[in-house]
Amino acid sequence: MSLARFPQGFLWGGALAANQAEGAHLEGGKGLTTVDMIPHGANRMAVKLGQEQRFTLRDDEFYPSHEAIDFYHRYKEDIALMAEMGFTVFRTSIAWSRLYPKGDEAEPNPEGIAFYRALFEECRKYGIEPLVTLCHFDVPMHLVVEYGSWRNRQMVDFFTRYARTCFEAFDGLVKYWLTFNEINILLHSPFSGAGLVFEEGENREQVKYQAAHHELVASALATKIAHEVNPHNQVGCMLAGGSFYPYSCKPEDVWAALQKERENLLFIDVQARGAYPAYAASLFREKGIQLVKAPEDDDILKHSVDFVSFSYYASRCASADMNAGNTSAANVVKSLRNPHIQQSQWGWGIDPLGLRITMNSLYDRYQKPLFLVENGLGAIDEINAAGEIEDDYRIDYLRAHISAMGDAIADGVPLLGYTSWGCIDLVSASTGEMSKRYGFVHVDRDDAGRGTLARRRKKSFWWYRQVIASNGEDLA
């Protein structure tokens, strides 16, 4: 295994998101948000996908986000644990509905601002740079119910007002911003991704791409505002990454993989290059989409991002016949099972070289610095008789991926930093489970919400501390 070569000042840390960690879903003036309506259990998928409307909470369902891991009350303890590992960056998101409980108010909620100021100041106390996502899978429910969420262009105004509030209120505390988490996931998980609920018989592709267009305009305007508020602000887009491999060298399979790759990268093409790519026209034609654009939109989209951030869990595989069975779960993005790689307990492929491939392809395409803001292994952890968690499988996964990341840097790819996903165990976005754990720190809570929420360091905690202390040289 080759030695990683990381530049001085490389940012090392971990990532959480408000919707999966904070809990306190109605405290501090917060309003209900999309994730608060997504239950654990049998109805989860239908709600997440926007097939079943859930505008009111039900007594017979359990909603994991309501308490989550109680980061809202325990953030000081959690940041101290991150500092103990040596983090120099911590990625989290702001819950839009803490600042604007309904989403369409003229003024923000001061309690929400006070909470995030305190959180970012706590990071700064330890020399940890916050990396903040403005929208990570949560839209205020009032905007969903009253406006139809991102299918409505008015969302651009609501979002940019919220974004400006964040840039102004946290100026001097936060420099690195991401607009929309995994913007391409809107195509695969429309309600959790963008608050979309479908009506019978409508062209769903039209709704999704129109909503994405509104997000892209909002993202470009937010980028412009961030730079106006403070020219030192750095704004990134965020891709659910993982290159598509052709399942075989059959030309039809190669073409299929290229199309899937384009579908994945379309929104990032706009955010990073400032315009829709040429292939968008034929894609829209095939899907029967007629994008409604305001006359000023093309100019607005020219405000491209400063860097390209992405998550990487697994590579993907495509063939001309994607329904040939043999599918694997690469997050919610459909993929064929790759026989050359191992799978996680949740069926996600494990492909460290795929990370090197993805990083090289992204940099070849965008020529902007990259930031790997999510990566990790969701696995079941057992506490042994000595009270310890020996998560060598997680260490193996991370070691191989950090090493591949070092190889990509040696290939010439500029990478700003690395935040592994779920550095403290949190609620899984896809399944709502707690048992799908990613963390260096264990949280005592089960899938039904039982447990003390106590934190416990795992073996990987000590391992990652040494990785950071050696700036990625000591991966043993």
Active site residues: 374
Task: Select 332 or 415, whichever has its Cβ closest to ligand BG6.
Answer: 332
Distance linking the first and last C-alpha atoms of the chain: 11
> Which secondary structure element, helix H or strand E, spans residue 352, and what is its range?
helix 352-366
Q: How many residues bind ligand BG6 (CB under 6 A)?
A: 15
183 binds ligand BG6 (CB under 6 A): no
Contact 270, 212 (CB under 8 A): no
Binding residues for ligand BG6 restricted to 63-102, rule: CB under 6 A = none
Phi, psi (deg, nearest 5) at residue 230: -155, 115
Rounded Cα distance between 308 and 375, Å, is 15
At its nearest, how many Å lie between ligand BG6 and the CB of residue 430?
A: 3
421 binds ligand BG6 (CB under 6 A): yes
- Residue 384 CA to its chain's centroid (Å): 32
With CB under 6 A as the contact rule, which of the stretches 220-228, 400-408, 428-436, 464-472 interacts with ligand BG6?
Answer: 428-436
Question: Tokens for 398?
Answer: 């991370």
> Which secondary structure element, helix H or strand E, spans residue 370, and what is its range?
strand 370-374
At its nearest, how many Å lie between ligand BG6 and the CB of residue 432?
A: 9
Residue with tokens 């902007």: 368
- Select the residue interacting with ligand BG6 from 206, 230, 361, 430 (CB under 6 A): 430
Closest C-alpha among 328, 327, 369 to residue 345: 328
At its nearest, how many Å lie between ligand BG6 and the CB of residue 185?
A: 6
The single-letter code of the amino acid at 70 is D
Rounded Cα distance between 67 and 5, Å, is 40
358 binds ligand BG6 (CB under 6 A): no
At its nearest, how many Å lie between ligand BG6 and the CB of residue 428?
A: 4
311 binds ligand BG6 (CB under 6 A): yes
Contact 194, 166 (CB under 8 A): no
At its nearest, how many Å lie between ligand BG6 and the CB of residue 24?
A: 18
Cβ within 8 Å of residue 452, ≥6 positions away: 444, 445
What residues pair up with 308 in beta bridges, in sequence order?
237, 370
120 binds ligand BG6 (CB under 6 A): no
- Select the residue interacting with ligand BG6 from 97, 315, 331, 358 (CB under 6 A): 331
With CB under 6 A as the contact rule, which of the stretches 51-59, 84-92, 396-404, 422-430 interacts with ligand BG6?
Answer: 422-430
> Which secondary structure element, helix H or strand E, spans residue 308, and what is its range?
strand 307-311
At its nearest, how many Å lie between ligand BG6 and the CB of residue 139?
A: 14
Rounded Cα distance between 128 and 12, Å, is 9
The binding track of 237-276 with respect to ligand BG6, each residue x by CB under 6 A or -, is ---x------------------------------------
At its nearest, how many Å lie between ligand BG6 and the CB of residue 333?
A: 9
Cβ within 8 Å of residue 136, ≥6 positions away: 17, 18, 19, 93, 181
Task: Select 113 or 333, whichever has its Cβ closest to ligand BG6.
Answer: 333
Task: Select 235 or 333, whichever has its Cβ closest to ligand BG6.
Answer: 333
Residue with tokens 């989409």: 289
At its nearest, how many Å lie between ligand BG6 and the CB of residue 192?
A: 9
- Select the residue interacting with ligand BG6 from 91, 153, 436, 437 (CB under 6 A): 436
Task: Select 136 or 161, whichever has its Cβ closest to ligand BG6.
Answer: 136
Binding residues for ligand BG6 restricted to 3-62, rule: CB under 6 A = 17, 20
At its nearest, how many Å lie between ligand BG6 and the CB of residue 15?
A: 8
Nearest residue (beta carbon) to ligand BG6:
430
> Which secondary structure element, helix H or strand E, spans residue 19, and what is its range?
helix 18-21
Cβ within 8 Å of residue 341, ≥6 positions away: 314, 315, 349, 350, 351, 354
Rounded Cα distance between 406 and 311, Å, is 16
429 binds ligand BG6 (CB under 6 A): yes
Cβ within 8 Å of residue 354, ≥6 positions away: 242, 243, 245, 312, 314, 315, 341
The binding track of 366-385 with respect to ligand BG6, each residue x by CB under 6 A or -, is --------x---x-------
With CB under 6 A as the contact rule, which of the stretches 65-73, 116-124, 266-274, 426-434 interacts with ligand BG6?
Answer: 426-434
- Select the residue interacting with ligand BG6 from 34, 181, 234, 315 (CB under 6 A): 181
Task: Select 18 or 221, whichever has its Cβ closest to ligand BG6.
Answer: 18
Give the footprint of ligand BG6 on this chain (CB under 6 A). Answer: 17, 20, 137, 181-182, 240, 311, 331, 374, 378, 421, 428-430, 436
